[in-house]
Chain A
């Protein structure tokens, strides 16, 4: 009996084109869109080479510090290269700027840089900052040279070797002696969250499968349900096998999305496959429990039930960052309780913690939250199923 019903539950679920579209195909399509739209965002946030122009006047040609500094920073062989520099006349520079070929140009007036931009922005700020840095370096060189000369004069050496002092000072200023140690994680790709919310969406959408397959067994929900109710089988057994069938269907959907995102879109879920599978199983269970609860407690037609699950899922995914990851952060930071109760976020956050965190505390917290969520909802479904007798059909 169990297997008989299980087999046919699977068959009806898989033949339901609409259901299969929303739970299987739509997430994959959405993932493809996400990938197309987001795959380049993080690269474009890296510092690009900035196109600039420098006006070649006497001031610039005679200023060794500026000249060599820009030469170095525009050198194609320098891995820390910042600029693509054109040396032009003022007219040419203005034209380039108007055509937006460069972000701005620099003109040295009395050894002071004067910068012209169209507007403000990060590239402009960096250009300005670098020009200031060079000016500051010349200031240091002047200060140090002066000091050194004074020192030498103080010590009675009037025969100052300017050349050697200058070289010494330059040496000091170019010495790379800033010690910084980067201790941030490598996995900083925040667009991953978008894909994690998709996984959460599929897990919860799966609830619809549960709802549909339970409805097939409830006399007050469908005509087929009436047939099942008058058959000599226990309701529990039939419902359990239907629920199991929908769980399996749901897991296939989740697995497909995982396979697609991992192998086609190169989404990074961290390295611990076992833990990811556990999360997917538990997350789907949470979705299933949502479906069973809606199916058993809400007395309305199937469209309303599906609508409720869809709304809960979409709201949950919205809060966990599907339409902009900032939302998840804002909620996590300011009203954490909302996302601690949000099953979509439990799944998203679980995947995030596997990807980004080295410790498992946060992952375990999420998995346990999902289990509690699922347990409570299944318990509610069970109780309301037990109580259910029909006063009207």
Chain B
């Protein structure tokens, strides 16, 4: 009991750290979660295009602008080159179209005037360029045989209005599941950082050489003491996990009450266990309190960056993913990613999830064994 009391006191002194990492989770984990509609209907992706028109808005010019507006999100920025350049750099706009002066007149005269563009070079901008080229190409073809502006425009629009029929098969609301996955992926960082930091700090306090001398000579058996410490730490981990789960119910919502939600919970719980064993291991090999924050940052940030907690896994280079296989976070995050697109739940589809969970548990066992080996060696002072 005394161990637990002391534990709580030390915990209380470090509550700021816990609050800090939790705030990170709410702020960043919840940041990317703007609500959008359930997308079981097809929604065309629209690139962000900015139009800088030096021509009068009439004729072909007007129609081109109308076409772009219909097929993209037109971004309205200050007509200032620096602002436009910044917007391009930060992908606020994917594509900028500069319609030159007298475009309408020159076009009707068959001069096929050149259009200047700025592009970010990503797929959004490639699509934007497809849109623009399409219009000009169609317009050019008809321009050769049609002289009337009005007729030309109606012909162009007739052609461009031909649409394909689209059907969407998925009934799954991937949007909300992505949110849940994003949240739980980020939780990888918060759980690791928080647990390792706090548990290491507490172990370091208990293992402080002077204090350890006292506890060793005290009438409490060191095994009992260690058991109490382990119990307190586990309790802390579970409470932290419950806080984060509760937060996910608030931030993500209904989906957490589904079978998917249960899998997110199980997965994060198993990972919490693993993170606790990692924390205990590190806490046992480190006695210098000052070193803790450095180690926490390196380990928690490292496994978060390498395993795709911050940047989606599909964007990571192959080599990094390969390295990530040696870290438990990889399996935890893989599970979240599987859950995101998991449509039919049967034994076959959840098999990979269970496999990952087994791997995470194996990591935990390895860390427990390592901790035992290390602490056995350290039973005598100095």
Contacts and interface: CB of A to CB of B under 8 A. Distances in A.
B121 A188 contact: yes
Contacts of B129: 180
B43 A120 contact: yes
27 contacts: A33-B305, A33-B306, A37-B308, A39-B317, A40-B320, A41-B311, A42-B122, A45-B124, A46-B126, A114-B165, A119-B174, A121-B45, A129-B44, A136-B138, A136-B159, A136-B160, A144-B141, A181-B117, A183-B116, A184-B96, A188-B88, A188-B120, A188-B121, A326-B90, A332-B86, A352-B89, A357-B85
Given A114-B167, A119-B39, A128-B164, A356 B305 contact: no
Contacts of A139: 158-159, 162
A190 interface: yes
B112 A112 contact: no
A18 B290 contact: yes
A128 B166 contact: yes
A332 B90 CA distance: 11
A96 B374 CA distance: 51
A384 interface: no
B44 A40 contact: no
Interface residues of A, number: 74
A271 B347 CA distance: 57
Interface of A: 18, 21-22, 26, 29-30, 33-34, 36-42, 44-48, 97, 100, 106, 112-122, 124-126, 128-133, 135-136, 139-140, 143-144, 147, 172-173, 177-185, 188, 190, 323, 325-326, 328-329, 332-333, 352, 356-357, 362
Contacts of B98: 183
Contact of A181 (B41, B82, B114, B121): B114
Contact of B169 (A40, A118, A140, A144): A118
A140 B139 CA distance: 11
B310 to A, nearest CB: 6
A132 B86 contact: no
A37 B311 contact: yes
Nearest to A119: B170
A47 B120 CA distance: 12
B298 interface: yes
Query: Which 5 residue pairs are nearest across A and B when measured between Cβ atoms?
Result: A329-B90, A184-B118, A45-B122, A33-B305, A47-B123
Interface string B361-382: 0000000000000000000000
Contacts of B138: 136, 140
Contacts of B82: 362
A46 B323 CA distance: 24
A36 B98 CA distance: 37
Contacts of A190: 89-91
A185 B92 contact: no
Contacts of B142: 140
Contacts, number: 206
B266 interface: no
Contacts of A116: 166-169
Contacts of A124: 42, 45
Nearest to A33: B305
Given A115-B166, A126-B127, A37 B290 contact: no
B130 interface: yes
Contacts of B305: 33-34, 36-37
Contact of B159 (A42, A143, A172): A143
A135 B120 contact: no
A34 B133 CA distance: 37
A180 B115 contact: yes
Given A120-B168, A181-B114, 17 more contacts: A18-B294, A26-B297, A33-B302, A36-B323, A106-B164, A114-B166, A118-B169, A120-B42, A125-B45, A129-B127, A133-B134, A178-B137, A184-B119, A333-B86, A333-B87, A352-B89, A356-B89
A117 B144 contact: no
B340 to A, nearest CB: 11
A328 B90 contact: yes
A36 B310 CA distance: 12
A36 B317 contact: yes
Interface in B302-321: 302, 305-306, 308, 310-311, 314-317, 320
Contacts of A135: 162, 164
A189 B42 CA distance: 31
A177 B138 CA distance: 10
A106 B54 CA distance: 40
